[in-house]
């Protein structure tokens, strides 16, 4: 028996070894390795007025982890690729290996079938357009900031955020037809993935499926049609007959051209959504339907490194596209550091420091419900461009600097209004202005080493001139960010950073039921100031491998409850590697 | 020819834009959701509290519907109290028009003892934001009591002398009482679990009792007909002695690796905390999804699977804490009729 078990263990290892040996011996270019590694040590201390009355919260915390993602990509032939990523993680609390976890983080097979159809099975990153399937960026991403970016990159990596895609698990296929006359080409693209697993009794499977057809009429004009459906299969749960289906579809027309002095482009996208329920007693009797339209004109002057755009958007109040409206950040989640405070052990509200650093606050899945948001962080478009009940204009300018690339600036402004009032005839108006840039001071001084100053400012105002007095809304939010990167020795950087939030005013937050209908409002009042500063050193072994030691200081004051004011000091040592 | 291509594109794009903009004028623009005026406006009582009957036979499936109307939506509490025994049923809501299912009483109880035939009850309607506006109903006679619901997965009714309970405390000199008792009437049956003590060393913890699935069901983990954590409810009567700082923590220990044992440093404990700030027996109910991962280092705060799994509950712990820390006063509570139900709470 013992011998049989030994064989069982050794045989797969032997086969794997033979395969690996074969791969290295004859197909060395067919096996590649990649992944990520991280070691984090985080010493935190909470202090401030809160601690004068709070006798239960621990004053200090020491956390940390070591993890390694080991990725192997195998190409058994020129048309097939198999990629897997294994994760080994050990929390610092897990002494002598007690806290080690192993996880298969990614497994994908992709290739080209019959030299015609490109396919992928397993973990797939998918996106369509900002109104159908899109992973909109989260709050506090005003600019790249050398003091905070490694943490933002970790959040993105941990949650599979890449280029506005959602990580899905399923099957994807794409093929293209070229034509000699009439139109130039047709590209078909489809995906089916599992969004939620059944419990086999009362909770049914939920699937996501989309199809896209892209027609290139001529080099100056293309059309793209897409339809997406997030739907349940009632029969997958034995004691369930309820079903929900969220469908959305759009057509995108793009035209434009390039010339030596100026490029222009006009994109118009419009589409419909429909939400249907079956056998749900409290669901709306009629399907919830609405539409959107987005027209964007873009101009580019390549020789001047200047780009500008102007958009008009109209997203209906009942437009529902879960693939584009699911939020990354959950403001109601429990922060990993100092999760609870006060003698009543209430959940500590998420701060700007948590938003930047805490990967556990983020959501990885598409959900049919409109998620909670913090209006002090983002009130105009909490669900990205597809935020329902918004109409208005958006303008943007982006300048990537003179020929020496000594500075880069960008600016955006958006003026949006509601289309339909919430609880009143009066409509909210949203004005958002933001600007961010980098000044490469080292280049001005003619230094070989970098000395970069980053700065950004964002101001958002929400107003509603009430018709009944009680429905007046006035909420302001100011975000500012500064960053400094100074290479004081080859590959050794001095880092500095600041993130600031101030919010003041009142709002009404809508409580929605499971069908996204507003059922109540919570009065929201803000008089908040948060300031987070950082200083430290970073050594870059390479562009993808850094060792940093940073000190962070958060000062949080909620004037509506000054007894909960606190400061949070954190010293962080981080070794991070992407390869 | 080249320009024609642009014109086709521009015309096509603009056509789409204008058609979509034209559709915008067709939208229904009635304000969404309840009116703000109905929630944040001036409070007044438009219709005083009444009920649809003066006697009720719950054994025949009858119910009592209470009716009242307010000028705004506000948090209300309807308390139905037995004049003879003090048993109470509490209904809550925030409707403007209080009637129908939200104000219907089926004879169930919130604070034991159970309602019985021959008792008289009176309902009072109170508003958290307007404490001076309490309304009372007429007296209602109960001619037949509600049958005790059947079904559910019993953890313990504390009546079986053969059931195994694992008790634990920090120090023997903390003067704890921790066992089956019959000092005062039980919520249901004759006996209950009683925990009482004082925190002498400032650790907050006083004592606890552990009940495994093996002792409750004879299985290694509790078995439910669903894995949906929203549909599995835990219910229990809790007796509050009316002393401050009493905190009940209910731990659900998950056997994450399904090896039949629970290792606190590696496997997750999900818990639910209840400040026991009332007097008498009260039914408490919550879905398993309302629990949160333990924050106690080395005591279930690391979940090997990283998620709450209702089908891996190996044991329950009921822990008595003295929320104020070291204190001269004693804290305690009684526990009775602990059980899981499916799809909804236990309503005796």
- Chain B residues close to A99, C-beta within 8 Å: 265-266, 302
The rounded distance, in Å, linking the Cα atoms of B317 and A410 is 57
Chain A, nearest residue to B267 by Cα: A99
- Cβ of A519 within 8 Å of Cβ of B33? The answer is yes
Which bin fits A20, alpha (ψ -120 to 50), beta or left (φ > 0)?
alpha
The rounded distance, in Å, linking the Cα atoms of B82 and B88 is 6
- Chain A residues close to B39, C-beta within 8 Å: 423, 520-521
The residue-averaged pLDDT of A370-382 equals: 96
A219 reaches B (C-beta below 8 A):
yes
- Chain B residues close to A417, C-beta within 8 Å: none
- Cβ of B39 within 8 Å of Cβ of A520? The answer is yes
B39 reaches A (C-beta below 8 A):
yes
- Give me the DSSP letters along A498-552: EEEEEEEEEEEEEEE-TTS-EEEEEEEEEEEEEEEEEEEEEEEEETTEEEEEEEE
Share of chain A above pLDDT 90, in %: 66
- Cβ of B36 within 8 Å of Cβ of A471? The answer is yes
Question: What's the confidence (pLDDT) of residue A219?
Answer: 86
CA distances for A98 relative to A40, A153, A297, A337, B315, angstroms: 18, 28, 57, 21, 22
Indicate the pLDDT class of residue A3, thresholds 50, 70 and 90: very low
Within 232-271 of B, beta carbons closer than 8 Å to A belong to: 265-266
| Per-residue tokens: A282 | 């409290």
Question: What's the confidence (pLDDT) of residue B249?
Answer: 93
- Cβ of B9 within 8 Å of Cβ of A217? The answer is yes
Strands of A379-472 (E only): list them. Answer: 390-399, 407-417, 429-440, 451-464
- Cβ of B41 within 8 Å of Cβ of A470? The answer is yes
Q: Which of A295, A317, A318, A296 is CA-nearest to residue A308?
A: A296
Task: Please indicate whether residue A5 or residue B92 has the higher confidence score (pLDDT).
Answer: B92
- Cβ of B302 within 8 Å of Cβ of A93? The answer is yes
Mutation to test the B interface, candidates A218, A253, A265, A318, most B Cβ within 10 Å:
A253
Domains of chain B, each with CATH number or no CATH: 38-144 (2.60.40), 153-342 (2.60.120.430)
The rounded distance, in Å, linking the Cα atoms of B220 and B314 is 6
- What's the CA angle centered on B170, arms B169 and B172, to 5 degrees? 75
| Per-residue tokens: A226 | 């897409």
CA distances for B34 relative to A283, A288, A390, A521, B67, angstroms: 17, 18, 20, 8, 20
- What's the CA angle centered on A86, arms A81 and A88, to 5 degrees? 165
Calculate how close chain A gets to B186, using CA atoms only, in Å: 30
Chain B, nearest residue to A218 by Cα: B5
- Chain B residues close to A94, C-beta within 8 Å: 265, 302
By Cβ distance, the residue of A221, A295, A317 closest to B12 is A221
Chain A, nearest residue to B298 by Cα: A93
Strand partners, B93: B76
The residue-averaged pLDDT of A527-550 equals: 94
CA distances for B128 relative to A399, A554, B68, B122, B132, angstroms: 57, 36, 16, 19, 9
The rounded distance, in Å, linking the Cα atoms of A59 and A199 is 42
B326 reaches A (C-beta below 8 A):
no
By Cβ distance, the residue of B10, B32, B36 closest to A266 is B10
Question: What's the confidence (pLDDT) of residue A47?
Answer: 87
The rounded distance, in Å, linking the Cα atoms of B169 and B208 is 6
CA distances for A345 relative to A245, A342, A558, B322, B335, angstroms: 40, 5, 18, 14, 24
- CB contact set of A558 (below 8 Å; sequence gap of 6+): A349, A527, A528, A564, A565
The residue written with tokens 């008790």 in the block is B167
Pick the CATH number of A35-578 from 2.40.30, 2.40.170, 1.25.40, 1.20.1420: 2.40.170
A561 reaches B (C-beta below 8 A):
no
Question: How would you write the pLDDT of chain B (348 residues) with one tens digit per residue?
Answer: 455 666 666 777 777 777 777 766 677 788 999 999 888 888 999 999 999 999 999 999 999 999 999 999 899 999 999 999 889 999 999 899 999 999 999 999 999 888 999 999 999 999 998 999 999 999 999 999 998 888 889 999 999 988 999 998 876 555 677 888 888 889 988 999 999 888 777 678 888 999 999 999 899 999 988 888 888 999 999 999 888 889 999 999 999 888 888 988 888 899 999 999 898 999 999 999 999 888 776 677 777 777 889 999 999 999 998 876 556 678 899 999 999 999 889 988
- Give me the DSSP letters along A117-155: EEEEEEEEEE---TTTS-----SS-SS--TTTHHHHHHH
Write out pLDDT tens, residues A53-69: 777 777 888 888 889 99
Within 301-340 of A, beta carbons closer than 8 Å to B belong to: 314, 316-317, 334, 339-340
| Per-residue tokens: A29 | 């270019």
Is B130 in a helix, a strand, or coil? Answer: coil
- Cβ of B227 within 8 Å of Cβ of A201? The answer is yes
Indicate the pLDDT class of residue A346, thresholds 50, 70 and 90: confident
Out of A83-97, A125-139, A232-246, B252-266, least confident range = A83-97
B3 reaches A (C-beta below 8 A):
no
- Chain B residues close to A389, C-beta within 8 Å: 32
Residue-wise over A49-75: b if at least 16 C-beta within 10 A, else e?
A: ebeeebeebeeebebbbbbebebbebb
By Cβ distance, the residue of A254, A314, A420 closest to B32 is A420
- Per the CB < 8 A criterion, the answer to whether A424 and B35 are in contact is yes
- Per the CB < 8 A criterion, the answer to whether B274 and B284 are in contact is yes
Calculate how close chain A gets to B172, using CA atoms only, in Å: 24
DSSP state for residue B288 in the 8-state scheme = G
Residue spans per domain, chain A = 35-578
- Chain B residues close to A203, C-beta within 8 Å: 226-228
The rounded distance, in Å, linking the Cα atoms of A252 and A223 is 6
The rounded distance, in Å, linking the Cα atoms of B255 and B267 is 6
Does the pLDDT of residue A566 top 80, yes or no?
A: yes
B304 reaches A (C-beta below 8 A):
yes
A369 reaches B (C-beta below 8 A):
no
- Per the CB < 8 A criterion, the answer to whether A536 and A548 are in contact is yes
HEC sequence for B131-168: CCCCEECCCEEEEECCCCCCCCEEEECCCCCCCCCEEE
Mutation to test the B interface, candidates A129, A197, A199, A342, most B Cβ within 10 Å:
A199
- Chain B residues close to A217, C-beta within 8 Å: 8-9
Within 186-225 of B, beta carbons closer than 8 Å to A belong to: 225
- Give me the DSSP letters along A177-213: EE-SSSSSEEEEEEEEEEEE---SSSS-EEEEEEEEE
0.90 surpassed by pTM: no
- Chain A residues close to B23, C-beta within 8 Å: 291, 293
B8 reaches A (C-beta below 8 A):
yes
The rounded distance, in Å, linking the Cα atoms of B178 and B317 is 13
- Chain B residues close to A55, C-beta within 8 Å: 325
- Chain A residues close to B310, C-beta within 8 Å: none
- Per the CB < 8 A criterion, the answer to whether A343 and A55 are in contact is yes
H-type helices in A251-373, by residue range?
322-325, 352-357
A291 reaches B (C-beta below 8 A):
yes
The rounded distance, in Å, linking the Cα atoms of A289 and A276 is 9
The rounded distance, in Å, linking the Cα atoms of A314 and A250 is 14
Question: What's the confidence (pLDDT) of residue B5?
Answer: 62
The residue-averaged pLDDT of A186-211 equals: 92
Does the pLDDT of residue A7 top 70, yes or no?
A: no
Distance, C-alpha A166 to centroid of its chain:
9
- Cβ of B297 within 8 Å of Cβ of A93? The answer is yes
Question: What's the confidence (pLDDT) of residue A11?
Answer: 35
Does the pLDDT of residue A451 top 90, yes or no?
A: yes
Question: What's the confidence (pLDDT) of residue A25?
Answer: 33
Calculate how close chain A gets to B47, using CA atoms only, in Å: 22
- Give me the DSSP letters along B78-93: EEEEETTT--EEEEEE
| Per-residue tokens: B65 | 């519907």
Number of CB pairs < 8 Å for A and B? 156
Q: Which of A123, A120, A124, A101 is CA-nearest to residue A112?
A: A120
The residue written with tokens 């058994």 in the block is A76
| Per-residue tokens: A504 | 């003041």
Strand partners, A194: A207
Calculate how close chain B gets to A178, using CA atoms only, in Å: 19
- Cβ of A291 within 8 Å of Cβ of B20? The answer is yes
Is B236 in a helix, a strand, or coil? Answer: strand
Does the pLDDT of residue A399 top 90, yes or no?
A: yes
Is A424 in a helix, a strand, or coil? Answer: coil
Question: What's the confidence (pLDDT) of residue A6?
Answer: 37
C-alpha radius of gyration, chain B, whole number: 27
Mutation to test the A interface, candidates B18, B36, B300, most A Cβ within 10 Å:
B36
- Cβ of B27 within 8 Å of Cβ of A55? The answer is no
Does the pLDDT of residue A298 top 90, yes or no?
A: yes
Other CB atoms within 10 Å distance of the CB of residue B118: 10
Indicate the pLDDT class of residue A133, thresholds 50, 70 and 90: very high
CA distances for B9 relative to A223, A338, B5, B20, B22, angstroms: 9, 56, 6, 17, 20
By Cβ distance, the residue of B12, B24, B36 closest to A314 is B24
B120 reaches A (C-beta below 8 A):
no
Mutation to test the A interface, candidates B1, B10, B13, most A Cβ within 10 Å:
B13
* Side-chain half-sphere exposure of B20, counting CA atoms within 13 A: 27
- CB contact set of A273 (below 8 Å; sequence gap of 6+): A246, A247, A248, A249, A288, A289, A290, A291, A292, A318, A319, A320, A321
Calculate how close chain B gets to A23, using CA atoms only, in Å: 34
Calculate how close chain B gets to A550, using CA atoms only, in Å: 26
- Cβ of B6 within 8 Å of Cβ of A251? The answer is no
- What's the CA angle centered on B194, arms B188 and B198, to 5 degrees? 155
Counting other chains too, the contacts that B99-106 makes at CB distance below 8 Å and 24 or more residues apart are B99/B65, B99/B66, B99/B67, B99/B68, B99/B69, B100/B65, B103/B65, B103/B66, B103/B67, B103/B68, B103/B78, B104/B63, B104/B64, B104/B65, B104/B66, B105/B63, B105/B64, B105/B65, B105/B66, B105/B80, B106/B58, B106/B63, B106/B146, B106/B347
Write out pLDDT tens, residues A17-65: 333 333 333 345 689 998 889 999 999 998 888 777 777 777 888 888 8
Indicate the pLDDT class of residue A98, thresholds 50, 70 and 90: low
The chain-wide mean pLDDT, for chain A, equals 89
- Cβ of B32 within 8 Å of Cβ of A295? The answer is no
Chain A, nearest residue to B273 by Cα: A345
């Amino acid at each position: 028996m013992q011998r049989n078990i030994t064989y069982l263990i050794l045989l797969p290892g032997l086969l794997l070894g033979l395969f690996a040996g074969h791969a290295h011996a004859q197909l060395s270019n067919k096996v590649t390795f990649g992944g990520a590694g991280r070691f984090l040590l985080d010493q935190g201390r909470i202090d401030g007025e809160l601690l004068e009355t709070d006798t239960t919260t621990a004053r200090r915390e020491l956390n940390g982890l070591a993890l390694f993602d080991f990725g192997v990509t195998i190409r058994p032939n020129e048309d097939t690729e198999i990629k897997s990523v294994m994760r080994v993680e050990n929390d610092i609390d897990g002494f002598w290996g007690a806290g080690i976890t192993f996880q298969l983080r990614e497994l994908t097979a992709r290739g080209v079938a019959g030299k015609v159809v490109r396919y992928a099975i397993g973990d797939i990153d998918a996106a369509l357009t900002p109104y159908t399937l899109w992973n909109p960026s989260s709050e506090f991403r005003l600019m790249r900031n050398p003091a905070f970016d490694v943490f933002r990159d970790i959040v993105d990596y941990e949650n599979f955020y890449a280029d506005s895609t959602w990580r899905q698990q399923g099957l994807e296929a794409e093929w293209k037809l070229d034509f000699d006359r009439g139109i130039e080409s047709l590209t078909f693209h489809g995906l089916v993935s599992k969004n939620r697993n059944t419990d086999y009794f009362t909770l049914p499977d939920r699937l996501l499926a989309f199809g896209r057809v892209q027609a290139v009429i001529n080099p100056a004009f293309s059309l793209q049609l897409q339809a997406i459906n997030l739907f349940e299969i009632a029969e997958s749960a034995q004691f369930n007959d309820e079903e929900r289906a969220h469908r959305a579809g759009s057509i995108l027309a793009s035209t434009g051209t390039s010339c030596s002095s100026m490029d222009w482009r006009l994109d118009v996208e419009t589409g419909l959504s429909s939400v249907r329920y079956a056998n749900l007693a409290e669901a709306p009797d009629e399907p919830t339907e609405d539409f959107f339209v987005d027209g964007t004109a873009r101009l580019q002057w390549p020789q001047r490194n200047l780009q500008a755009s102007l958009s008009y958007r109209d997203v209906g109040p009942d437009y529902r596209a879960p693939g584009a409206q699911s939020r990354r950040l959950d403001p109601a989640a429990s922060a990993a550091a100092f999760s609870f405070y006060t003698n009543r052990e209430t959940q500590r509200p998420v701060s700007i420091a948590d938003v930047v650093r805490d990967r556990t606050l983020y959501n990885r899945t598409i959900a049919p419900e409109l998620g909670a948001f913090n209006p002090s962080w983002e009130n105009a478009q909490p669900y990205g461009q597809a935020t329902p009940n918004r109409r208005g204009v958006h303008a943007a300018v982006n300048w990537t600097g003179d020929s020496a690339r000594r500075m880069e600036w960008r600016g955006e402004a958006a003026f949006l209004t509601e289309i339909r009032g919430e609880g009143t005839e009066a409509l909210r108006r949203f004005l958002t202005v933001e600007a961010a840039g980098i000044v490469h001071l080292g280049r001005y001084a003619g230094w070989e080493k970098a000395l970069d100053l980053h700065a950004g400012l964002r101001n958002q105002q929400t107003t509603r001139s009430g018709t009944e007095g009680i429905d007046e809304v006035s909420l302001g939010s100011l975000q500012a960010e500064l960053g400094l990167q100074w290479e004081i020795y080859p590959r050794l950087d001095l880092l500095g950073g600041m993130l600031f939030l101030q919010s003041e005013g009142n709002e009404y937050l809508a409580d929605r039921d499971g069908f996204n209908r507003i059922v109540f409002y919570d009065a929201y009042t803000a008089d908040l100031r948060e300031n987070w500063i950082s200083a430290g050193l970073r050594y870059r072994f390479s562009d993808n491998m850094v060792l940093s030691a940073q000190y962070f200081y958060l000062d949080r004051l909620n004037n509506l409850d000054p007894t909960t004011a606190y400061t949070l000091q954190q010293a962080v040592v981080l070794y991070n590697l992407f390869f | 020819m080249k320009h024609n291509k642009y014109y086709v594109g521009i015309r096509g794009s603009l056509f789409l834009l204008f058609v979509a903009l034209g559709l915008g004028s067709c939208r229904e623009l009635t304000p969404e959701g309840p009116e703000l005026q109905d929630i944040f406006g001036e409070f007044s009582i438009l219709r005083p509290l009444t009920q649809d009957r003066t006697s009720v036979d719950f054994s025949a499936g009858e119910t009592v519907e209470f009716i009242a109307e307010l000028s705004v939506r506000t948090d209300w509490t309807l308390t139905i109290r037995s004049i003879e025994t003090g048993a109470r049923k509490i209904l809550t809501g925030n409707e403007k028009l209080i009637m129908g299912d939200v104000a219907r009483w089926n004879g169930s109880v919130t604070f034991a003892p159970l309602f019985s035939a021959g008792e008289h009850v009176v309902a009072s309607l109170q508003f958290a934001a307007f404490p001076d506006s309490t309304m009372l109903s007429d007296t209602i006679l109960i001619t037949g009591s509600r049958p005790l619901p059947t079904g559910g997965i019993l953890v313990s009714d504390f009546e079986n002398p053969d059931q195994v309970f694992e008790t634990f405390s920090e120090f023997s000199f903390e003067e704890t009482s921790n066992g089956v008792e019959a000092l005062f009437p039980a919520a249901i049956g004759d006996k209950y679990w009683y925990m009482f003590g004082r925190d002498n060393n400032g650790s907050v913890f006083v004592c606890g009792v552990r009940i495994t699935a093996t002792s409750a069901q004879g299985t290694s983990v509790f078995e439910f007909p669903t894995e949906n954590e929203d549909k599995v409810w835990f219910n229990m009567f809790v007796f509050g002695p009316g002393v401050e700082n009493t905190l009940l923590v209910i731990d659900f220990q998950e056997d994450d690796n399904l090896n039949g044992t629970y290792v606190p440093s590696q496997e997750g404990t999900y818990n639910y905390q209840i400040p026991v700030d009332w007097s008498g027996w009260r039914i408490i109910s919550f879905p398993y999804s309302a629990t949160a991962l333990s924050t106690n280092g080395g005591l279930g705060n690391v979940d090997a699977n990283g998620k709450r799994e209702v089908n891996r509950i190996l044991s329950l712990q009921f822990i008595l804490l003295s929320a104020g820390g070291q204190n001269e006063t004693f804290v305690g509570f009684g526990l009775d009729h602990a059980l899981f139900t499916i799809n909804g709470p236990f309503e005796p």
